[in-house]
Each structure stands twice: as C-alpha cells, then as structure tokens.
Structure 1
Amino acid sequence: MSEARARLLASASRLFYTEGLHSVGIDRVIADAGVTRATLYRHFPSKDDLLVAYLTEADRMIRAEVAAARTSSANRSPADAVRAVAATIADGIRAPGFRGCAFLNAAAEYPDPTHPVHQAVLAHRQWFLETVTELLAETGETAPEPAAQHFVMLRDGAMAAGCLTDPAPICATFLRGVEGILSYRDAPVAAGARRRK
C-alpha cells in the first residue's frame, strides 16, 4: 500500500467512523490526509470506493482480532475461544472513542441492499456469523447456527447500547449472555426443548 493511499484510508476511516459516512465529504478527507484531489481519485475513483475500502479495512482488523483471540485460547477449551472473542468485543466497546459498530452504522446510512456499502456490510456480517457458528460447533453445541445468531444479536445490542450509556454494565450483561449461550447446551431440559422445536 502506498503512503498516500494509507494516509487517505486512515483519514477516511477516522472521519467516517466518528462523524458519519454521508456527513464527511471528499474535500474533508483530502484536507485531513494532506493529499491532492488527483491523488485521492487515483486510489479511489469515487466516494463509494473509499467507503468500501474503509469497511474492508474495518473487516480486516476485526478478522485479525478474532484470529488472535482464537490463537490465544488454542490450548484451552473450545468454549474459551468463544469467551476470548466475546472479551475482544467487550474490550472494543469499552475503548475510548467507541461510536458503535462501524457496519451497523454504515447499514443505517446505506439501507439499499444493492448498494456496494450495504453489500460490504452484509459480507462482513455473514463472515462473522459463520465464524461464530464454527466456534460454537466446536464446543459441542447441537444447534450452532441459532446459537451463533443469538451471539450476534447480543453483540449488536451491546454495541448499540455501549455508545449511548456507560459501557461497563452493558459489557457485563453481554458477557453474561455469552455464558448463557455456552451453558444452554449443558442444560438437558432446555436442550431437549430446543430439539423438539
């Protein structure tokens, strides 16, 4: 990646995340990155291309965090890998400057499912759901996809609430919810009821 492209992407990512995708214009990104308009358009032919690149970079960072969490729990139980991913999410919510989920924010601004920005959001969420499904399957969960959907819903709620109020109790509730998902498979009555559904 060239230095100019890296500067543009860093400026765009910070501005889009903190101020919104529609509200930040190309001129603002150019000024913040300290490049010319021609340089921006050489790397990103349109604002949509820049927006997709921003989301692609956010996706890459989250994938790296999940991979690191899985690696850190490699010598522990599969359930610990799920806990490690959940802890990474909670750490992000508690981090200074947290403004919610970049992907949910983008979907709210670009609701058209055919738009490239919305498509980037859907691709990220599909990967995340598949990854959590795989992690939960490794724990012995007999219905890993519904359990993963539950995890994703808990994550979405925690991210939405975590930027509106004190994130500490939100994260504690999220982590308890994840423990509930992990313990649900060990409850014979609940598991039996789920299998009958």
Structure 2
Amino acid sequence: MSDIQERIAAGLEQAFARHGFAEPSVDTLRDAAGVSLRTLYKYMPSRSDMMLAALEHRHRRYLNRVLDDLPVDQQAAREALMDRVADWMRTEASHGCLFHAAVASEPGSTALRDLLERHKQEVASRAALATGLAGQEIALLLILEGLTQSWPLHGKNAVAAAKGLATSLA
C-alpha cells in the first residue's frame, strides 16, 4: 500500500470508528481522508472499498498494538494481552468491534465477512501462540470477544474476569 493509500485508509478508519458505517457522507469521508474527492475515488472507487481499506488499516494497527512484543513468559503474556485489549477498548473502540459493526451494516457483503473472519482467526492464532495456548484458539478468542463486549459495561472487572478465564485454560 502506498503512503497516500495508507493515509487515506487511516483517515477513513477514524471516520468510520467515530460515525459508524451508515452516517458519514462522502464529504465527511473525503475530509477525514484529507484528500480531494477525485483522489479518494481514484484509490477507493466505492464505499465498500473505503470500508475494506479502513478495516485493513485497523487490522494492522490492532495486531501491532495488542499482539506484537508480548512478554515471553506465557502467564505474563496472558495478562498483558488482556490489559492491551482493555487499553484498546478504552482508547480506540469504546463502542465495540468495528469489524462486527461493518458486517452488521452490510450483512450480505462476502468481502466484509471474509475480512472479519481473517481478522479474528489471526488474532486467535497469534494470541494462542504467544500465551502458550495453542490448540485453544477458539476458547481464547471467546474470552477476548467477551472482554471486548463487556468492557464498556464492566471495565476493570471484565479485565480481571478475562485474566482469570485465560489462566484457567492453561
């Protein structure tokens, strides 16, 4: 992805995270991307392309922030993983998972469903590998998804519960 495409995708990600997928007008998306309408459509000719680019950008940022450079000690990695998901929720996703929101906005989109599945699969496999829970990817993903959904209501208590559940998988 070129620098301009990356910059556009970053702006679109922020616009969709702030306004949802149905609300932002093309003008809002253009302004968020920081380019002319012509440039926006040159790189992303449809709203679907804009959504996919924004989510691909989000996917890379999430993996980098939540899963890169976890502690080598597996128990410490489990705790750090839950803390990082909570930090992500606090700073980036207070309304829940942007990937699920995208699929909900266009339930018939195979491309969005495929991206959601790829994102969740990669999160689960990388998290399981880092935490010593290989073979328990679905259980670990269930804990992470539960934390993502319960964090807005329960905050630190949700993190503590997720840590306890992850420890019980060992």
TM-score band (shorter)? 0.7 to 0.9
Structure 1 gap ranges (5+): 187-197
Q: Does 1:150 align with 2:146?
A: no
Aligned to 1:195: none
SS of residue in 1 equivalent to 2:155: helix
Displacement of 1:56 in angstroms is 0.3
Aligned to 1:62: 62
Q: Does 1:91 align with 2:87?
A: yes
Aligned to 1:9: 9
Residues 52 and 117, structure 1, Cα contact 8 Å, conserved in 2: yes
Aligned to 1:117: 112
Q: Which runs of 4 or more aligned residues in structure 1 lie more than 4 Å from their structure 2 counterparts after TM superposition? A: none
Q: Structure 1 residues 94 and 30 mapped into 2: Cα distance closer, same or farther (>3 Å)?
A: closer
Within-5 A mapping of 1:1-197:
1-3=2-4, 5-70=5-70, 73-74=71-72, 77-95=73-91, 98-112=94-108, 114-136=109-131, 138=132, 144-159=136-151, 162=152, 165=153, 170-185=154-169
Displacement of 1:156 in angstroms is 3.4
Structure 2 gap ranges (5+): none
- Return the letter of the residue paired with 1:171: G
Query: TM-score, normalization: structure 2?
Result: 0.82
- Deviations 1:83-117, CA, capped at 9 Å, x for gaps: 111101111222377332211221221222x4312
- Return the letter of the residue paired with 2:43: H
Displacement of 1:69 in angstroms is 4.5
Displacement of 1:63 in angstroms is 0.8
Higher relative contact order (CA 8 A, sep 6+): 2
In the alignment, the residues of structure 2 paired with residue 7 and residue 150 of structure 1 have an alpha-carbon distance, to the nearest angstrom, of 32
Q: Structure 1 residues 185 and 54 mapped into 2: Cα distance closer, same or farther (>3 Å)?
A: closer
Tell me the matched-pair count.
169
Q: Structure 1 residues 180 and 34 mapped into 2: Cα distance closer, same or farther (>3 Å)?
A: closer
Which is greater in Rg? 1
Q: Structure 1 residues 68 and 34 mapped into 2: Cα distance closer, same or farther (>3 Å)?
A: closer
- Return the letter of the residue paired with 1:81: A
Query: TM-score, normalization: structure 1?
Result: 0.73
Q: Structure 1 residues 182 and 32 mapped into 2: Cα distance closer, same or farther (>3 Å)?
A: closer
In the alignment, the residues of structure 2 paired with residue 145 and residue 9 of structure 1 have an alpha-carbon distance, to the nearest angstrom, of 29
In the alignment, the residues of structure 2 paired with residue 28 and residue 47 of structure 1 have an alpha-carbon distance, to the nearest angstrom, of 12
Displacement of 1:146 in angstroms is 4.7
Displacement of 1:157 in angstroms is 2.2
